[in-house]
Chains A and B, each alone.
Chain A
């Protein structure tokens, strides 16, 4: 066993783990952070969008040296059928501000930088170390971790589980359930490299301006899913994700889906001639509010993706991870400053603080959305995109048909496909789940 004892052990060096380790180390705690990758970030995968506000609370001057790609000036939502897309584009000069609100990032590079901040704050970061088990005392209180290093048992007052969506420790120890196939999505992604000028020309950008495209429709073949295209400085992150249960049910392959998305006539011109340098896959927690596990116990807390803290509707995850990590750390610091033990009665403070934050408030707002999207995926991801596309084409194509007849035709295509009561039912359920 490693004799040294720590105030806190953080398992994982993603967004949540780094936020927690940084906050606790800055608060004067003796922190050990364990990461199984060669360096922090080498096992992490994300789209990736960085929300400045949540990072600013941790590293106020992050813009000075963080590896940021492009600040976002434009957001596109696409509803796609096999040959077209109907888009909603929002672009504003307001986003060319002194302190931009959102950036694209490359996670492996960003996490390396974030980890450096954690080290500078005084935490010990041990990479290439896989935590294999939790260590408990006779009362069941978690008192440390076992690692795959020789004599790799390490003790600490609190273990912060930031092990990600596929975290094994918590489930192995019976602290939370293994994610269910209908509560996690599998996303696959490629990094497409192109000259900077080419990206700027194709996406209508100047300098470090960036664009995000998020797309739903027949690209997911009736499964609950979404495609994304993010412009970085010299590459494009392009991916698509669908619920694991849907992959299981349909027998679609993730790479087949990705390749079809890439060949879509709206997408292909954006990546034409690019060089692919990486292919990755990652699970995304999609269960929402109802999938959040017990967040704390005897000697442990769980944060970030491992706690299913992900807002699917707004495509936010890393900011919820960072915020939950910071809040957990602040709660732990408070408990420690009062010289109290890390037991559930005291750690409940973490949940109380999280409940009061946007993290839980947002997830609670959409608590019924995941179930709705899953049970009606055919309507929302296949039928409606096809109908919208047909309606748009009917609207813009000029062929001598009187407009009144065109409108009737469009209305009829909707009622034929879904019937009036079906349309009202879907709309009603959507509004109710949204509120």
Chain B
């Protein structure tokens, strides 16, 4: 079977409208030495690929493309790995179709 490249998530997100609340991310990853299994699972489970592994082995979140589904909250909030809140009123993703 020919190997086809999946559409990059970044390209998918490019179609969406956002009002980014610069400097006020609504999700914060708690500082950690070694990421928990929950945090590591977000590298794959986040539908907007907001979670990435940094060079020094930390899981980092960039929430600019976040589509506010809440998956990371369901997986990582209880263990204290992340602090989750909704963006300020009016900010974040703005669905035209939804």
Tell me the A residues contacting B by CB distance below 8 Å: 36-38, 41-46, 48, 106-109, 111, 127-130, 132, 147-149, 165-166, 168, 178-181, 184, 186, 188, 190-191, 235, 244, 247-248, 251-256, 259, 263, 276-283
* Complex A-B: 26 CB contacts under 8 Å: A36-B89, A37-B90, A38-B90, A42-B95, A43-B92, A43-B93, A45-B98, A127-B90, A129-B89, A130-B87, A130-B88, A148-B88, A166-B69, A166-B74, A168-B84, A186-B45, A188-B47, A244-B75, A247-B41, A247-B44, A254-B45, A255-B6, A255-B12, A263-B4, A277-B96, A281-B48
Asked if residues B71 and A278 are in contact (CB atoms below 8 Å), the reply is no
Contacts of A251 in B (CB 8 A): 41, 44
Query: B50-94 vs A: 1/0 string, CB under 8 Å?
Result: 000000000000000001111101110110000011111110111
Known: A108-B95, A130-B86. A283 touches B44 (CB 8 A): no
A259 to B98, alpha carbons, bound, how many Å?
19
For chain B, the bracket of interface size reads 35 or more
Asked if residues A281 and B71 are in contact (CB atoms below 8 Å), the reply is yes
Asked if residues B98 and A283 are in contact (CB atoms below 8 Å), the reply is no
Contacts between chains A and B (CB distance < 8 A), count:
140
Of the candidates A46, A165, A186, the one whose C-beta lies within 8 Å of that of B98 is A46
Tell me the B residues contacting A by CB distance below 8 Å: 4, 6-7, 9, 12-13, 15-16, 19, 38, 41, 44-45, 47-49, 67-71, 73-75, 77-78, 84-90, 92-98
A46 to B92, alpha carbons, bound, how many Å?
18
Contacts of A256 in B (CB 8 A): 6
Of the candidates B16, B41, B92, the one whose C-beta lies within 8 Å of that of A248 is B41
Contacts of A148 in B (CB 8 A): 88-89
Asked if residues A248 and B12 are in contact (CB atoms below 8 Å), the reply is no
Asked if residues A191 and B97 are in contact (CB atoms below 8 Å), the reply is yes
Closest 5 CB pairs of A and B: A166-B70, A128-B90, A107-B98, A108-B98, A279-B12
How far is the CB of A181 from the nearest CB of chain B, in Å? 6
A235 to B15, alpha carbons, bound, how many Å?
15
A283 to B47, alpha carbons, bound, how many Å?
11
A109 to B95, alpha carbons, bound, how many Å?
10
